[in-house]
Structure 1
Amino acid sequence: MGIMRIKRFLDFTIALIAFLVLLPLIGITALLVRIKLGSPILFKQLRPGWRMQPFQIYKFRTMADLYDVHGELLPAEKRLTPFGSFLRRYSLDELPQLLNVIKGELSLVGPRPLLMKYVSLYSPEQARRHEVRPGITGWAQVNGRNSLSWEQKFSLDVWYVDNRTLWLDFLIIWRTVLKLIRPEGINHSGSVTMPEFQGNSQKQAVKQ
């Protein structure tokens, strides 16, 4: 059995067990999101997956729907609530992605799925991050997360693609657990979200 089949079997098994074990926490979090932020409880968005095939990612909402006088959404800094910040700090907003893993759209470990509109901006080397399934956590997430530049992030993603092993996945999961205990690198300096990737003509700092 090849590494991808073994990895998929482990992803499905671990994600299913984790979902069942964490179901009470998932239910409580969903209830609190409904009370504090209203409906919908889940944030859903198309993201590029393995071989750039789009899929719908699930997260718990962390931002309120607040608009300016022109009917435009306010900046993320004004819509992110203290409750939402708490969910992000401890990655509780990512719990619904266990369903994405069970469905085979995500892996437990892999490059984080970014935005669909970034796909056309990648260099051929950067696009190699889509040679594997994207993950809930990844090599970039345990080596700086949102404090990384786009260039650093993509370099780490491609390094993972070239060096992935089951043991490396276990190491990344272990280091992710440690970072949940001592969260860091959640927000980019001076912002609750990261500047968008503008392509390779300019260097930007990133979070996704």
Structure 2
Amino acid sequence: MYHKYFKRVLDIIISLGAIIILSPVIIIVSALVRLKLGNPVIFKQKRPGKDCKIFTMYKFRTMTDEKDGNGELLPDDIRLTKFGKWLRSTSLDELPELWNVLKGDMSLVGPRPQLVRDMVFFDTNQIKRQEVLPGLTGLAQVSGRNSISWEQKLNYDLDYIKKITFVGDFKIILSTISKVFFRENIHADGMQTAEDFGDYLIRTQKIDKKTYDVKISLSKKLLSK
């Protein structure tokens, strides 16, 4: 009953209220991003949502556009500035996602929207996480975020969708506030940015290079549509 009828109503009410209440913070962060990183202030990225439908997710920009001699973007850990790291550690970079919640692309609580190049590597069980709206926060985020393995993260997502309740969502939101305040589990061990699922699978020899290349090619086709 909650998931079918009331969850979306609460998403609209809370996200709209948060946008209004946090508007001074949003304006200040926008100005700081513009000053320190330049335009665009908002970073847009295609992510897979409910039923694998791809939508545009909004975040505050945290990286520069630095390129190498061949015109290719430098690795993320090089382009991620000290200011960008601070934005991520405070989760302020995710404030624009409230617009995604208001629009109906996302929910306040649900499996976090992964990259399209991550989704193509999900197996027949893991892909079930796409049966619900992705969330601004989720069970995996309050259970370890980037400090847990990909398998653990996806299992938490699957556990969440098995029983979605108001009490469960409320507990996750409260725990998220605590995690953000204490800046817990922001980065995976030894990494400034989380490792892509496909890169993890090939690094741990769970797939071969041929399978990896085929899946990456599929992700590019999905993004080009």
Tell me the TM-score normalised to structure 1 length.
0.94
Partner residue of 1:31?
31
Q: Does 1:15 align with 2:50?
A: no
Partner residue of 2:210?
none
Partner residue of 2:86?
86
Between Structure 1 and Structure 2, the one with more helix by share is 2
- The alignment partner of 1:141 has SS state of helix
Which residue identity lines up with residue 127 of structure 1 in the other structure? I
> 1:53 & 1:203 partners in 2: Cα distance?
29
* Cα drift, residue 120 of structure 1: 2.5
Partner residue of 2:114?
114
- The alignment partner of 1:140 has SS state of helix
CA offset digits 1:66-113 (Å, max 9, x no partner) = 111221111111111111111000100000000000000000000000
Partner residue of 2:156?
156
* Cα drift, residue 3 of structure 1: 2.5
* Cα drift, residue 195 of structure 1: 1.7
Partner residue of 1:167?
167
Partner residue of 1:42?
42
Which residue identity lines up with residue 176 of structure 1 in the other structure? T
Partner residue of 1:197?
197
> 2:57 & 2:82 partners in 1: Cα distance?
23
Work out whether residues 55 and 105 of structure 1, in 8 Å CA contact, stay in contact via their aligned partners in 2.
yes
Q: CA RMSD in A?
A: 1.5
> 2:35 & 2:203 partners in 1: Cα distance?
42
Work out whether residues 149 and 203 of structure 1, in 8 Å CA contact, stay in contact via their aligned partners in 2.
no
Work out whether residues 60 and 96 of structure 1, in 8 Å CA contact, stay in contact via their aligned partners in 2.
yes
Work out whether residues 2 and 166 of structure 2, in 8 Å CA contact, stay in contact via their aligned partners in 1.
no
Q: Which runs of 5 or more residues in structure 2 are unaligned?
A: 206-225
Query: Once superposed, which parts of structure 1, at least 4 consecutive aligned residues long, lie more than 4 Å away?
Result: 199-204
Work out whether residues 48 and 116 of structure 1, in 8 Å CA contact, stay in contact via their aligned partners in 2.
yes
Work out whether residues 105 and 133 of structure 1, in 8 Å CA contact, stay in contact via their aligned partners in 2.
yes
- The alignment partner of 1:43 has SS state of strand
Partner residue of 1:129?
129
CA offset digits 1:131-168 (Å, max 9, x no partner) = 11000000000000001111001100000000221110
Partner residue of 1:140?
140
> 2:119 & 2:182 partners in 1: Cα distance?
32
- The 10-residue stretch of structure 1 (111-120 or 83-92) with the greater mean CA deviation from structure 2: 111-120
Tell me the TM-score normalised to structure 2 length.
0.87
> 1:105 & 1:143 partners in 2: Cα distance?
24
* Count of aligned positions: 204
The percentage of counterpart residues that share the same residue type is: 49
Which residue identity lines up with residue 102 of structure 1 in the other structure? L
> 1:82 & 1:201 partners in 2: Cα distance?
30
> 1:117 & 1:189 partners in 2: Cα distance?
21
Work out whether residues 101 and 108 of structure 1, in 8 Å CA contact, stay in contact via their aligned partners in 2.
yes
Q: For residues 177-188 of structure 1, what are the structure 2 equivalents within 5 Å?
A: 177-188=177-188
Partner residue of 2:209?
none
